[in-house]
Structure 1
Amino acid sequence: MHLPSRPRVATRPVQLAPRPPQLVGRDETVAELRERLLGSDVRPAVVAVHGLGGVGKTSLTLEYAYRLQQEYDLVWQLPAAEPAVLSAAFARLAALMGLRELGADAADPVDQVHAALAARTDPWLLIFDNVPEAEALLPFLPPVGPGHVLVTSRSGRWPRDQGLELPVLDLVSAARLLLSSSGQDDEVAAADVVSELGALPLALEQAAAYMSETGLALSEYLDLLHHQRAELLAQGQAWGYRERVASTWQFAFERLARTSPQAIALLRLLSCYAHEAIPSHLLLSPLERWAPRELFRADVQRRRAYGRIPGPPARLLRDVHPSVLVMMRALPRDTLRINAALTALRRHSLIGPPVDGAVTVHRLVQAVTLDQLSRRVQRRWREVAAVLVEAVLPDDPGQKARWPRYARLLPHIRTVLGPTSPGMDKTARYLGASGDYRTARSLFQEIAAALAAALGPEEGATLTARHELALWTGEAGDPTAARDQYVALLPVYERVLGPRHPHTLTTRHNLAQWTGRAGDPVAARDQYAALIPIRRWVSGPEHPDTLTTQANLAQWTGQAGDAAAARDQYATLLPVRERVLGAGHPATVTTREQLAHWTARARP
């Protein structure tokens, strides 16, 4: 926060902190302030600029005042964090205006100033800097008069017609500010630093000051930021700020710990997730239905069902640290308490405005929140975050109706879930089913490698991940690699599960399919022909898997150049599918269409 300078002698009473050396990327906001003040139907007009600590609220209002001070008969900045300090500032203003002797106590200086401002005919401007709450300002706000009032506050609780939330800088402006303040010209490194610091003006100015003091290049600062973030955020002194990033939200943290422990617990949880919008109500919804130990029990059962844990579930539940359960119990567990916790965080602008049940948390707020905790406690909060994500992920990622939830949770899944988690497996399947084949392939590469290292290369979960990797490798446009992966996988399945196990037969089916798609329809036809008798023996002649294999044999027989044989095979298959599946079943319809296609191709 800027401290007001001593009053300067001038015809027009003016008291302002020094003007910011530069205000990048805020010209439109300065113009919006002017427009809202002039366009207000209420006098005095009030605009409360609120937002995250360090976002540049005071710098913005100061720049407005300096640009437009000639428009006002009086311009005065008042420190408003403490009522006693604000009252003393009013006494100084009253004395300068000739309303009382400095130090006199015959009348309330606030009332004196209000009366004098109401009597003026020319416009005036008051800036109340760092107001803690809207209610705290009410006794000091001039009730009437031809003036304008600007307020800076971290509180997000302002009347809709008064509040103006100041966001962080856009990335281009933030990079320009960093380059200008640091005196450097590495635009690539500047963009990376801006991304890491979330385009927060305080953090950018602090980084520039630190680089100027130490002679570090932007790329060197970025490396330090990656490896010693907590220590670095406590270094460097930004112009015009008393505080640093590491301490600027400390008061809010301490106050919340005293007055709203559920809010500080919620902030720690939210800090474990990604920087994108966090669906807080959705993630906390399991706590309404289940006790913490029940959620962990369900998590253990889920991992066991996915073959992720070989040990007995009872032992794993005993291994859950009691402090993790305590952390989960500290979270709000119903809609009213969740909203109360979010309101408390919003009061300090530690989160963005809730929209559709989701909130945003600035990446540096997340970083500083977690950096205050030991690594052990951080790890346990991340366990809580992971369990809550797993609890709200649908079990059927192939169903289109489930995709919006997966899409909403995707950045948080990637942040808190490891590659061996069931949720990561389901997410990779969702991505493949929804058409993002390349990302599905990439995730299954991670999953297969991690499972091989954790469980062994021939465990069932590892083999399933390898099977999925081959599938999505092919769908991503590399059928040859998919074929080769199935070639390598088939003998492992035959050795581990046996040559007639359903998983082995599915692998043989997919090997034939990708052999054909890799450009060898004759080999695909022969592989399907060899598979059919085994399918009939294992599943029966009219089982859907057997009929699918027959359909694929007919397809690749035709692709291999024998249209007549393909026609005859589809002709044999069609009545069976009509009887087993029904005439209107999609597989039956496809068979009928293929029969017509190959019949036409078989004609001389």
Structure 2
Amino acid sequence: MTGDQATAVTGEHVEVDVEVVGDVHLQARPQVPTRPVQIQSRPPLLFGREAVVRELRGRLTTGWRTVAGESLVVEGPQVGEMSPAGGAGQIGVPRVVVVHGLGGVGKTSVALEYAHRYLPDYQLVWQFPAEEPAVLSAAFGRLAALLGLGEAAQGADPVDQVHAALAARTEPWLVIFDNAPDADVLRPFLPPAGPGHVLVTSRSGNWPREQGMELPVLEPGAAAALVLARAEQEDARAAVEVAGELGALPLALEQAGAFMAETGLAIADYLDLLHRQRAELLAQGQAWGYREQVTTTWQLAFENVERSHRPAIALLRLLACYAHEAVPYHLLLSQLERRSALELFRADQRRRQVYGRAPLSRVRLLRQARRRLAAVLTMQELPRDAVAVNAAIGALRRHSLIGQPVDGAVPVHRLVQAVTMDQLPVRQQRRWREVAAVLLEGLLPDDPARPESWPRYALLLPHIRTALRAFSPGMDKAARYLGASGNHRTARALFMEICEALTATFGQEHPSTLTARHELARWTGELGDAEAARGQYAALLPVRERVQGPEHPDTLAVRHELARWTGELGDPAAARDLFAALVPDRERVLGAAHPDTVAARRQLARWAREAGGLSAGDS
């Protein structure tokens, strides 16, 4: 107290001397035993994280290490074992585990579940908001006041006060630093000593390997169970599909379930709406424990990357155009070290012309040229050399916008991809998709039937299906690879898509459309449906003859396949007659030694022998 009637209070521990001025008396204030606990409420639903919580417990508690010596100075936070009860002359080294991962993956929920589950084991449990250093410092001040440290060391930094108090404790404690930006920002705040555990959650992936514990998305079964529980419905099949569309991201699943619970929308209807209005739907619903929706949870990360590292945000936009499986970014971008963006687009234009996929009208050619020039400028935003590429990958990893790179490939969550593209105007989306397609087409070997090229096609197939249009040369190559490598069913399905796309784009009688129809019939037959294959070739033949002429090599190829499948259907005599008419035409057009002519003679011998028209010796 101050003023004319001031009372001075001095003392130590609970023995307090009171000096009285006037009639004012202050009695000694007794100490109250405290067990400081400040954590958010326990998550009501936490599907599929039991193994994660067990692993977290094991990493925090397995093994103990003590460091002896009165003169020991512990420099900074360390990962290691600690003494459960310091003891004289010993300093416990806190064990640190950092749960990191994509925004919305449930890092805080896991940390809270751990804290509530093992609360009885700790004499102090404190959760710090670690996103802003200023806010974090203020939170240390509140804990220091609760521990009664303010009067004991007036003017001292509250962070130092709390560190000293934690180091002096003999009972285990747990402190949680929630949503830490990165290791450098957090380092001054981590307790350097004491018998405790330090649990950090962060979106940044740049932590020491010994500390880091990356949290994946949920397993499919747990993700579907979460949707059912939050939506309070029982359509398990639709829940599995919703979980798949949302990439099993807990934030998205919670948000979807909350929206369905609030509106009464059936899970199947939500799925349909998600297909049609994804961007709008991802902004609806409030997930428990999250302040943000899917559409905003990564917004700050996007802005930080775009402001501080433009090549990194360009790379993210490129990665968003491919499948969510691991994208071979190193392979894709390596082309930019050898050739300019303009050279890559010119090479792509030549490919289109070779495959007959370039537009024929001048108006469409001019429109395509203007669009491609804009895409060339967009491609130039990408990092080109290895140092720049690795720097861009590092910037994206710091915000957990991409997964862990392995062998030059990196996975990207499908919702990160979706939100990245949805933020762009439609024209910019088209440009990035054009860039992605050109880079991908440039990696595809020219002969997909050669086994040496199959590993490359297998690596790129998910991205071909995602990034290329059905009428692109690369899609045609991929379908041929599938057929040649034995996947006849998928080859036929893909050529059906290609035929439809080419018909819609170039017309029914365009040479590219007719070639695709030929391939569709081929893989239909190889799949075992000889009757359908023969019917498709029979329908194709008169169109080939009218459009390209009766002696065009492509027309002769249709006649060859029609004769072959006629024989496969059980009519060797008819097959023999068709090949007998084909062989002289091929000899005249292609020459007697041409491989196609030789193949026709072999087929003639085969079916003549089966029909009884030739002896084995004549064949």
TM over 0.5: yes
Of the candidates 14, 18, 22, which is equivalent to residue 45 of structure 2?
22
1:261 is the counterpart of 2:310 = yes
Instruction: Using the TM superposition, give the Cα deviation of residue 258 of structure 1 relative to its aligned residue in structure 2, in angstroms.
Output: 0.5
Equivalent position of 2:450 in the other structure: 399
Equivalent position of 1:596 in the other structure: none
Q: State the alpha-carbon separation in 1 of the partners of residues 448 and 207 from structure 2.
A: 42
SS of residue matched to 2:297: coil
Q: Does structure 2 retain, via aligned residues, the 8 Å contact 1:555–1:566?
A: no
Equivalent position of 2:56 in the other structure: 33
Q: Name the CA shift for 1:133/1:503 in 2 (closer, same or farther; >3 Å).
A: same
Equivalent position of 2:36 in the other structure: 13
Q: State the alpha-carbon separation in 1 of the partners of residues 351 and 344 from structure 2.
A: 10
Correspondence list, 1:7-406, <5 A: 11-40=34-63, 41-42=80-81, 43-101=93-151, 106-309=155-358, 310-311=360-361, 315=366, 318-406=369-457
Q: Name the CA shift for 1:101/1:248 in 2 (closer, same or farther; >3 Å).
A: farther
Q: Name the CA shift for 1:321/1:426 in 2 (closer, same or farther; >3 Å).
A: closer
SS of residue matched to 1:20: coil
Q: State the alpha-carbon separation in 1 of the partners of residues 592 and 439 from structure 2.
A: 45
Q: State the alpha-carbon separation in 1 of the partners of residues 595 and 462 from structure 2.
A: 38
Q: Does structure 2 retain, via aligned residues, the 8 Å contact 1:198–1:363?
A: yes
Equivalent position of 1:577 in the other structure: none
Q: State the alpha-carbon separation in 1 of the partners of residues 375 and 556 from structure 2.
A: 44
Q: Which runs of 5+ in 1 are unaligned?
A: 1-8, 571-604
Q: Which moved more, 1:172-181 or 1:451-460?
A: 451-460
Of the candidates 406, 429, 435, which is equivalent to residue 480 of structure 2?
429
Q: State the alpha-carbon separation in 1 of the partners of residues 494 and 469 from structure 2.
A: 11
Q: Name the CA shift for 1:314/1:323 in 2 (closer, same or farther; >3 Å).
A: closer
Q: Name the CA shift for 1:512/1:105 in 2 (closer, same or farther; >3 Å).
A: farther
Instruction: Using the TM superposition, give the Cα deviation of residue 314 of structure 1 relative to its aligned residue in structure 2, in angstroms.
Output: 7.8
Q: Which moved more, 1:252-261 or 1:534-543?
A: 534-543
SS of residue matched to 1:320: helix
Deviations 1:585-604, CA, capped at 9 Å, x for gaps: xxxxxxxxxxxxxxxxxxxx
Equivalent position of 2:90 in the other structure: none
Instruction: Using the TM superposition, give the Cα deviation of residue 25 of structure 1 relative to its aligned residue in structure 2, in angstroms.
Output: 0.9
Equivalent position of 2:525 in the other structure: 474
Q: State the alpha-carbon separation in 2 of the partners of residues 318 and 411 from structure 1.
A: 28
Q: Does structure 2 retain, via aligned residues, the 8 Å contact 1:133–1:153?
A: yes
Q: Name the CA shift for 1:552/1:50 in 2 (closer, same or farther; >3 Å).
A: same
Instruction: Using the TM superposition, give the Cα deviation of residue 504 of structure 1 relative to its aligned residue in structure 2, in angstroms.
Output: 1.9
Deviations 1:492-537, CA, capped at 9 Å, x for gaps: 2222222222222222111111111122111111111222222333
Q: Does structure 2 retain, via aligned residues, the 8 Å contact 1:300–1:317?
A: no
SS of residue matched to 1:301: helix
Equivalent position of 2:68 in the other structure: none
Q: Does structure 2 retain, via aligned residues, the 8 Å contact 1:297–1:317?
A: no
Q: State the alpha-carbon separation in 2 of the partners of residues 83 and 456 from structure 1.
A: 63
The alignment's TM-score, normalised by the length of structure 1, stands at: 0.89
Q: State the alpha-carbon separation in 1 of the partners of residues 218 and 578 from structure 2.
A: 61
Deviations 1:217-239, CA, capped at 9 Å, x for gaps: 21222222122211221121111
Q: Does structure 2 retain, via aligned residues, the 8 Å contact 1:90–1:113?
A: yes
Q: Does structure 2 retain, via aligned residues, the 8 Å contact 1:296–1:317?
A: no
Q: Which amino acid aligns with 2:418?
A: A
Q: State the alpha-carbon separation in 2 of the partners of residues 218 and 237 from structure 1.
A: 17
Q: State the alpha-carbon separation in 1 of the partners of residues 156 and 589 from structure 2.
A: 99
Correspondence list, 1:588-603, <5 A: none
Instruction: Using the TM superposition, give the Cα deviation of residue 64 of structure 1 relative to its aligned residue in structure 2, in angstroms.
Output: 0.4
Q: State the alpha-carbon separation in 2 of the partners of residues 539 and 223 from structure 1.
A: 54
Q: Does structure 2 retain, via aligned residues, the 8 Å contact 1:270–1:278?
A: yes
Instruction: Using the TM superposition, give the Cα deviation of residue 14 of structure 1 relative to its aligned residue in structure 2, in angstroms.
Output: 0.9
Q: Which amino acid aligns with 1:72?
A: Y
Q: Which moved more, 1:435-444 or 1:282-291?
A: 282-291
Q: State the alpha-carbon separation in 1 of the partners of residues 247 and 264 from structure 2.
A: 23
SS of residue matched to 1:488: helix
Q: State the alpha-carbon separation in 1 of the partners of residues 154 and 381 from structure 2.
A: 49
Q: Does structure 2 retain, via aligned residues, the 8 Å contact 1:91–1:109?
A: yes
Q: Name the CA shift for 1:161/1:109 in 2 (closer, same or farther; >3 Å).
A: same
Correspondence list, 1:515-534, <5 A: 515-534=566-585
Equivalent position of 1:464 in the other structure: 515
Instruction: Using the TM superposition, give the Cα deviation of residue 295 of structure 1 relative to its aligned residue in structure 2, in angstroms.
Output: 1.5
Q: Does structure 2 retain, via aligned residues, the 8 Å contact 1:324–1:383?
A: yes
Q: State the alpha-carbon separation in 2 of the partners of residues 297 and 360 from structure 1.
A: 29
SS of residue matched to 1:343: helix
Instruction: Using the TM superposition, give the Cα deviation of residue 320 of structure 1 relative to its aligned residue in structure 2, in angstroms.
Output: 3.0
Q: Does structure 2 retain, via aligned residues, the 8 Å contact 1:300–1:316?
A: no
Q: Name the CA shift for 1:283/1:566 in 2 (closer, same or farther; >3 Å).
A: farther
Instruction: Using the TM superposition, give the Cα deviation of residue 396 of structure 1 relative to its aligned residue in structure 2, in angstroms.
Output: 1.0
Q: State the alpha-carbon separation in 1 of the partners of residues 253 and 535 from structure 2.
A: 50
Q: Name the CA shift for 1:101/1:88 in 2 (closer, same or farther; >3 Å).
A: farther
Q: Does structure 2 retain, via aligned residues, the 8 Å contact 1:14–1:75?
A: yes
Q: State the alpha-carbon separation in 1 of the partners of residues 321 and 593 from structure 2.
A: 51
SS of residue matched to 2:216: coil
Instruction: Using the TM superposition, give the Cα deviation of residue 180 of structure 1 relative to its aligned residue in structure 2, in angstroms.
Output: 1.1
Q: Name the CA shift for 1:527/1:26 in 2 (closer, same or farther; >3 Å).
A: same
Q: State the alpha-carbon separation in 1 of the partners of residues 599 and 181 from structure 2.
A: 69
